Amino acid sequence: MKLNHSLILCLLLFFTLSLPKCNAQESIRIGLKGGFNLANIRGYSTSPNNSPQAGFTGGAYVNIGLKNKMGITAELLYSQKGTITKDSPAYYYVRINYIDIPVFFTYELYKGLTAQIGLNMAIPVYANVRQGTTETNFLPSCSPLTFSLPMGMVYEFDNGINFGWRADFGLSTIATNSNDGGKNYVFSLCAGYTFFKKEK
């Protein structure tokens, strides 16, 4: 059964925006973050010789702290993904840039140390493949919305500075043709700063 992407997106956004009104809300934190991705595209018709490619990621986050050390975090990120294919003398460099909208369930394992797991929705805004001096735009062939499963950990100091890592496992293919293009797999390292905090 095909997923109704629009319905899932609307439900998740509604759920996230409704959280600040929840009686269980204990705190709200807003901040900015940035770092780098180590990304690859694997599966289906992709080459087994694909290698990771580095890129930038950055944006904003909102965390709603709930009772019992639990919480919800939503982020809006610009994220560079892709791969390097080493199948010919002139390597293929594939770059796909996304607007990522991950929503996480969070749990504080220890003071300042939080585990995250959730669902990421990614909208492609740029897609290019380069071989030698030849470049090709393939954005029209990309799926307009892809899903992935991100999980990771964040440590935040009392002054709001935080550091985190994340692994993101693709759930849907990058191309409109489900038998072509493979899935995104991304490892991220980021630093951030929480500039707004409000306790209940």
Distance CA 35, CA 59 (A): 10
Distance CA 125, CA 102 (A): 16
| SS3 at position 8 | helix
Residue bearing the bigger pLDDT, 65 or 43: 65
Each residue of 167-186: pLDDT tens digit? 999 999 998 876 667 899 99
State how beta strands 183-199 and 161-170 pair. antiparallel
**Domain boundaries defined on the chain:** 5-199
Say if CB 62 and CB 33 are below 8 A apart.
no
Confidence of residue 43 (pLDDT cuts 50, 70, 90): confident
What does residue 149 show for φ and ψ, rounded to 5 degrees?
-110, 100
Each residue of 86-136: pLDDT tens digit? 876 768 899 999 999 999 999 999 999 999 999 999 999 999 999 888 999
Tell me, which fold does domain 5-199 have in CATH? Porin (2.40.160)
- The owner of tokens 């191309």 is 175
- Nearest in space to 168 (alpha carbons), one of 145, 187, 191, 147: 187
pTM metric for this prediction:
0.85
Flag whether pLDDT at 79 surpasses 80. Answer: yes
What average pLDDT does range 9-33 have in this prediction?
Answer: 67
Distance CA 17, CA 100 (A): 17
Tokens describing residue 150 = 């991100």
